[in-house]
Structure 1
């Protein structure tokens, strides 16, 4: 029989906490560096220097920059889902829930811009790299499924102009409008204000005033 001592438990907790802190610092450093220099513009050694660690710390957590990006994706997904959930809670009690939700969900802040730069860089990498593409596709699919589940009550009561029997395809369309509009507005902010395409077309597409 193996007995875990209290001292052993305290040591495990310290190691786990230290590992979590190391991971968060690596993710923070990667987010900043990828946004500034691009996915291929910064080395693992440079990422570690930014985070204050050696490359050994990196490889104890990740096997590659691609794996690190996917961890960033997971962290960012949790933030986005929380934001969408808060927007849904506020919109669902309004007079026009769908329009209100789109208005709230289409907001763009500096974090949105930063993540768009990072994700676009990695998407280009994935297009050229089948292994990275397969991993990104899995993460994208999981995110679309989570958003579809979150929005299911809202979509069920809306007068949608597209079939709801294929929620994944619907989410692909929403993502295309969102990311395509964001790309254009970042290039031409004067001609296309942030969120304009979403606010103008998604409420009608997804069900008018619901």
Structure 2
């Protein structure tokens, strides 16, 4: 493939990805058809199939791109981390960016439920490029864990709290704030991962009047 043709192919792919993200956020992953996606981008359906075999394959690429952007924001803080608490602060800053991107979070959860019904797709989505896997969490905090508790398990607990809070936010039925969940996650992780409490004390969650 010549350079000009390659650049054109990359441009087409980028425009299709942009159209897909917009439609997924507007209508949802399931409700969006490939025909609508290619029409929004201004291409024939054949252009889609030159890059992907299905919507599943396309959204996995979108998820990878999204998380790469979030992780780039996280990297600088983690490089400066000198304690387990510092590392947790960097991780939760990254996770809260995902919570704040509410429309995309809905799409991600919709696709996660879809993937849970397909063993091959579920295994693909479990890879570290698509989510904060237990292994990735252990890589980030492992050097700061001074107890015998497995870093992977600390990661699993933090991920469970995060994903539960994500659903909590999308449903809009609860009263928890980001500060509440960050405080709970850090307190738990520090208690499990430290043979002696290190770093600063976790900040108290924001208090709210009323319900």
The two structures have a TM-score, normalised by structure 1, of 0.75
User: Relative to structure 1, is the Cα distance of residues 48 and 104 closer, same or farther in structure 2, using a 3 angstrom cutoff?
Assistant: same
Greater shift in the superposed pair: 120-129 or 155-164? 155-164
Structure 2 residue 36 is the aligned partner of structure 1 residue 43: no
Higher-helix-fraction structure: 1
How far residue 15 of structure 1 moved from its aligned partner, in angstroms, is: 1.3
Q: Which of 189, 192, 195 in structure 2 is aligned with 1:205? A: 189
Contact 2:19 2:40 (C-alpha < 8 Å) held by counterparts: yes
CA deviation map 1:114-154 (0-9, x unaligned): 331111111121123334323323466885244543x14xx
Which residue number corresponds to residue 30 of structure 1? 20
Which residue number corresponds to residue 207 of structure 2? none
Which residue number corresponds to residue 181 of structure 1? 165
CA deviation map 1:143-182 (0-9, x unaligned): 5244543x14xx4224458323xx3x44332221111112
The two structures have a TM-score, normalised by structure 2, of 0.75
Contact 1:38 1:118 (C-alpha < 8 Å) held by counterparts: yes
Contact 1:26 1:51 (C-alpha < 8 Å) held by counterparts: yes
Which residue number corresponds to residue 149 of structure 2? 162
Greater shift in the superposed pair: 171-180 or 19-28? 171-180
Runs of 4+ in 1 over 6 A off after TM superposition: none
How far residue 184 of structure 1 moved from its aligned partner, in angstroms, is: 1.0
Which residue number corresponds to residue 76 of structure 1? 66
Unaligned segments of structure 1, at least 5 residues: 1-10
How far residue 194 of structure 1 moved from its aligned partner, in angstroms, is: 2.8
User: Relative to structure 1, is the Cα distance of residues 64 and 195 closer, same or farther in structure 2, using a 3 angstrom cutoff?
Assistant: farther
Rounded Cα–Cα distance in structure 1 between residues aligned with 2:5 and 2:67? 26
CA RMSD of aligned residues (A): 3.1
Q: Which of 115, 118, 130 in structure 2 is aligned with 1:126? A: 115
User: Relative to structure 1, is the Cα distance of residues 140 and 75 closer, same or farther in structure 2, using a 3 angstrom cutoff?
Assistant: closer
User: Relative to structure 1, is the Cα distance of residues 111 and 204 closer, same or farther in structure 2, using a 3 angstrom cutoff?
Assistant: closer
Q: Match of 1:191, SS?
A: coil
Please show how residues 139-154 of structure 1 align to structure 2 within 5 Å.
Answer: 144=133, 145-149=135-139, 151-152=140-141
Greater shift in the superposed pair: 175-184 or 186-195? 186-195
Contact 1:181 1:198 (C-alpha < 8 Å) held by counterparts: no
Which residue number corresponds to residue 112 of structure 1? 101
Unaligned segments of structure 2, at least 5 residues: 200-211
Rounded Cα–Cα distance in structure 2 between residues aligned with 1:111 and 1:30? 20
Contact 2:35 2:45 (C-alpha < 8 Å) held by counterparts: yes
